[in-house]
Amino acid sequence: MIPLCGFIHASQLSLVVFVLICVAIASAFLGAVAYAQHGIMESTVTIPFTRVLIAVGVYGLAIAGVVYSEVLSRVFIPLGPIFLFGTVSFAVSIGFTQMGTRMVRAIPLGWMVGFQAFRLPLELVLNDWYKSGTIPQTMTWHGSNWDIVSGIFACIACVFVNNRRWLAWGFNVIGIVLLLNVGRVAIMSSPVPSGWQVDPPLELILFLPYAYIVPVCVGGAALGHTLLTRKLLTTTDSTSSSDS
């Protein structure tokens, strides 16, 4: 069982900012679903938006229930890594559903890239958490996590990618590599066998609202890259017909 007494909670302001980032990610997903369903009329049956909204709410409550039950702290191995890989894999799988296909066809390229800009404020929050002793240095740009580059790149590239597909490809590749690195650093910084000896160990998934960083933030970024990759691999793209 992972001891919980040593965990240092972050400042209230940083937690408010973090929750707002999570809400923004969920809202962007729901907005994309609504936009795609409204913008593409197909003969196939679509999932009503209200069902998607309810599903997102139930998923959020399920995550809270798992964390609140403290089962992750009692059986961190193997449940901790399963929580990480399971929630992120679930997010990625959405990108290959019929709903994901509609989003790929309807959402403009610039919007897909711009969505990833949330990684900039998220990294600033992580840096604040490091300073407060909530997470180890390895999870920031002072250590081995350089995902802030993805957030900055997204803020700039989203303005130009509609006419420069190569720039979108460049962002996508860099963003995926940096996201995979985040996963690597997170696993090695957590209390797993053969992990890094860091102080404090990474225990965010054991507490609320911190635990949402995996299913919402990491999962959201992974889903975003899945959709963006499918968009870029599409040979006929009406939303980017002017690409050069």
Domain annotation covers residue 132: yes
Identify whether 187 is part of a domain. Answer: yes
Task: Assess whether pLDDT exceeds 50 at residue 213.
Answer: yes
Q: Is residue 64 part of a domain?
A: yes
**Residue 171 clears pLDDT 50, i.e. is over it:** yes
Residue 244 resides in a domain? no
For residue 6, being part of any structural domain is answered with no
Q: What is the mean pLDDT of residues 181-191?
A: 96
Least confident of 43-52, 105-114, 199-208: 43-52
Where residue 2 falls among pLDDT bands split at 50, 70, 90? low
List the domain range (segments joined by +) for residue 225: 12-234
What's the pLDDT band for 46 if we cut at 50, 70, 90? low
In the chain, the number of structural domains is 1
Average pLDDT of the residues in 168-173:
97
Residue 242 has pLDDT above 80, yes or no: no
Question: Confidence class of residue 223 from pLDDT cuts 50, 70 and 90?
Answer: very high
pLDDT of 45 > 90? The answer is no
- In a domain? residue 112: yes
Dist. CA 24–CA 30, nearest whole Å: 10
What's the whole-number average pLDDT of the chain? 91
- Asked if 163 contacts 243 with a C-beta cutoff of 8 angstroms, the reply is yes
Residue 58 has a pLDDT of: 97
**Sequence-ordered list of residues with C-beta below 8 angstroms from that of 148, at least 6 positions apart, any chain:** 119, 120, 123, 124, 141
pLDDT for 173: 98
For residue 78, pLDDT over 70 is answered with: yes
* 51 within a domain of the structure (yes/no): yes
Question: Residue 74 falls within a domain, yes or no?
Answer: yes
Residue 48 confidence class, pLDDT cut points 50, 70, 90 = confident
Q: What percent of the chain has pLDDT over 90?
A: 84
> Apex CA 233: angle with CA 232 and CA 237, to 5°?
65
Closest CA to 179 of 207, 212, 220, 211: 220
pLDDT score for 234: 86
Whole-angstrom distance, CA of residue 146 vs CA of residue 154: 14
Q: Give the mean pLDDT of 172-189.
A: 97
**4 against 221, higher pLDDT:** 221
HSE-up of residue 131 (Cα within 13 Å, Cβ side): 9
Q: In this predicted structure, what is the pLDDT of residue 237?
A: 47
pLDDT of the residue at 37: 83
Q: Where does residue 133 fall: left (phi above 0), alpha (psi -120 to 50 degrees), or beta otherwise?
A: left
CA 5 to chain centre: 28
Nearest-Å Rg of the Cα atoms of the chain is 18
pTM over cut 0.75 = yes
- Asked if pLDDT for residue 214 goes beyond 70, the answer is yes
Tell whether the model's pLDDT for residue 20 goes beyond 60: yes
